[in-house]
Structure 1
């Protein structure tokens, strides 16, 4: 009987098609386990490498032409709804605020008299704790001056007023975006601002006006709390300090939605700010307005893994990256002209500067009457 049963089983097995795979039961608890989702960075790397090795079709080109006219056409056609702007010191130089690296006029070129161990020490938290005098000496004029926003700042405001600005990320600490009237909710001041300061010992908070009053008296701002004489540090991010938590939160939240990235007046040399240019979707156009083309395409796998692939301005397969060699104000006026917004931008700059001029005269009169 055992033999007959065995033959029957063999016959049944023989009826099975060679192409049929045996069914392997999966434990119930394994079947219920959710599939692990890739992080955004893992998804980016997977997609980038797949496209690099020809395993994906090329991204759809959304620009009619890969130049500033193509960017203007995209906006004019109503295909842009979530613009992210990224800015560096270059958008504020025409306001009279020096950038860091420009020959003779850059901030780093004016530090010889302080005998610093290196120029960057001026903004190092460790050096500031040891000797805050150089920092406050250099920053005094900037803190006391009433700088006016530039046409570039007002162009960003226009993007907001037209309802297409998703977020403005800035490395600057001058606060000119707020002066220009951009909604603070739309701002990510990655390196903080000078609007407030905190005691390094007890964390008591002080206003910018209080700090200015100390500087007018040629005093280093120090805490007035009982039994505390700690130095007041502006709420800006120094070298050696972490960026605000909100920065990484907004990068994760915003960049995956971005349909146009505009980069203005930054050398893109400081991480992690520079690396986020690669966080936008692969179809999203990127416009870079700057005097120098500092951004370049990186082919090194480790750089791709950490910072993304970079720009492809001069590559034959470039389909989305546009470089406009220009001062930021001129570049914004050029784009505004192509959009038919130039007169609107010029009128906004003129009226706002007149308003701020009246306010500045009142402030100076109040300052001249100040007595202790």
Structure 2
């Protein structure tokens, strides 16, 4: 066996297999498409990460000019991951509700990559789609729920953190849009309600552990928009059988993909690469028509930008001629190919899979970037605390900008909870 050494964007030495393939004819898009058309390819598994939703315009905490970044900076969190900690949420729900308003379903449109996974399902090729994302764009794209494993939960449902009673979705959406914190409508409960997103301090969904072993039956694995650094996803791709070709579509290397004979590395923008693959498959017209059905009025989607005049990704052959860490503009590499530009700490976020880690990176670097733009004050109210809670709660939420109106809580008709002015 022969290997080629390559330096990734984190200055880590990778040993990529450079010998002959055993199943695919080559390590390029044409070979992947040909294999997908063959009778040998019956069960396709997909792993999706945060990079898939970037083209949808979902805030990734990278830019200090975004409204979301400005809001998070005002929340005065004790530490970044607190916004996703159950104990912190119990005493200080305002920071998470502030974040939820920006990420709630309906504000963003699925990308071409989401639509591609839906096409795999339509053609009875998709077995399971594992996603680390909580934005529900997979559901909005039309991927069947029975083929979807949302490892970190999602905004698709919500329930009380105490009695676990599910809360009505329409009422939850209305409350979040109004900036109201929701409490359980079960009599004598009154616990806080949150979306079914897995917080620190909560167990991973049981169905996740039941679904992971199924990847051992994969005929083809796509790993898209993730660096495979967060468990259990970090080991998921390695669980695919040796006979299963693995295709990485991402801005940078991920996991151990590239060390097997039939690993394919397609480094670049997800939507651009997916479009080229669909063109090779003869699916491009269907891809466009299905994606058009996901249009949302006023959508912030950037997915239409995935129609560049030239290729914007790197294959293994192209990477051999690209100097590691070379900061170049799109389409300006020395060999005529295109690579994504790199710009300091912001590039590191492309390799981050979880919202909390993205937030950590952004806030750690907040002193190195330009000042925040002036934004209108966010008027999310804090929950009124009991005397017992006050003894244990920190004052982080009290440092939020002052509210124009007294805070209040959404309550059932028989319960009246008054906030502090």
Taking structure 2 as the reference length, the TM-score comes to 0.62
Query: How many angstroms does 1:250 deviate by?
Result: 1.1
Cα deviation, 1:116-138, whole Å, max 9, x if unaligned, reads 12222211222212311101011
> CA distance change for structure 1 residues 59 and 84 in 2, over 3 Å: closer, same or farther?
farther
2:298 and 2:42 map into 1 onto residues whose CA distance is 35
**Deviation at 1:269?**
1.6
Provide structure 2 residue ranges, at least 5 long, that are not aligned to the other structure.
1-18, 300-421
> Displacement of 1:162 after TM fit?
0.8
Structure 1 CA distance for aligned equivalents of residues 76 and 101 of structure 2: 18
Matches of 2:130 and 2:31, distance apart in 1: 23
Q: Summarize the Cα distance change of 1:217–1:112 in structure 2 as closer, same or farther, 3 Å threshold.
A: closer
In the alignment, is residue 321 of structure 1 matched against residue 285 of structure 2?
no
Give matches, 1:244-263, under 5 Å.
244-252=205-213, 254-263=214-223
Residue 204 to residue 353, structure 1, CA distance change in 2 (3 Å): closer
Which residue does the alignment assign to 1:64?
25
Q: Are 2:353 and 1:353 equivalent residues in the alignment?
A: no
**Residues in 1 aligned to 2:26 and 2:20: alpha-carbon distance in whole angstroms:** 15
Length, aligned pairs only: 280
What are the within-5 Å matches in structure 2 for residues 222-261 of structure 1? 222-252=183-213, 254-261=214-221
Q: Does 1:282 align with 2:224?
A: no
Q: Is the 1:198–1:206 contact (alpha carbons within 8 Å) kept by the matching residues of 2?
A: yes
Please name the residue that 2:160 is paired with: 199
Compared CA separation, residues 164 and 109, structure 1 to 2 (3 A): farther
Equivalent position of 2:251 in the other structure: 291
Q: Which residue of structure 2 aligns with residue 330 of structure 1?
A: 272
CA contact (8 A) 1:66 1:319 kept: no
If asked which structure has higher relative contact order (CA below 8 Å, sep 6+), I would say: 2
The verdict on how the C-alpha distance between 1:109 and 1:79 changes in structure 2, with shifts beyond 3 A counting, is farther
Alignment deviations for residues 315-362 of structure 1 (CA, whole Å, 9 cap, x no partner)? 6xx412212112211121111112121122112212x035x5499xxx
SS in 1 for 2:172: helix
Q: Distance in 1 between matches of 2:155 and 2:100?
A: 10
Distance 1:291 1:229 in 2: 45
1:341 aligns with 2:283: yes
* Structure 1 equivalent of residue 38 of structure 2: 77
- Work out whether residues 99 and 106 of structure 1, in 8 Å CA contact, stay in contact via their aligned partners in 2: no
Q: Classify the secondary structure of the residue corresponding to 2:286.
A: helix
Q: Which residue of 2 aligns with 1:97?
A: 58
* Cα deviation, residue 226, structure 1: 1.8
Q: Distance in 2 between matches of 1:250 and 1:106?
A: 37
| Residues in 1 aligned to 2:68 and 2:20: alpha-carbon distance in whole angstroms | 42
**Equivalent residue for 2:150?**
189
Q: C-alpha separation between the residues in 1 aligned to 2:30 and 2:71?
A: 39
Q: Which runs of 5+ in 1 are unaligned?
A: 1-57, 297-309, 360-372
Partner SS for 2:294: helix
Instruction: Evaluate the alpha carbon distance shift between residue 321 and residue 103 of structure 1 in structure 2; reply closer, same or farther with a 3 A threshold.
Output: farther
Deviations 1:31-72 (A, max 9, x none): xxxxxxxxxxxxxxxxxxxxxxxxxxx998111112333212
* TM-score, reference length from structure 1: 0.70
Does the 8 A contact of 1:173 with 1:236 survive in 2? yes
Tell me the residue number matched to 2:232: 272
For 2:171 and 2:148, how far apart are their aligned partners in 1? 24
- Contact 1:196–1:235 (CA under 8 A) maintained in structure 2: yes
Q: Determine the C-alpha separation between the residues in 2 that align with 1:243 and 1:222.
A: 23
Change (3 A) 1:258 1:59: farther
Residue 151 of structure 1 and its aligned partner are, at CA, apart by 0.9
> 1:108–1:119: 8 Å Cα contact kept in structure 2?
no
Across the aligned residues of Structure 1 and Structure 2, the Cα RMSD in angstroms comes to: 2.5
CA distance in 2, matches of 1:175, 1:139: 13
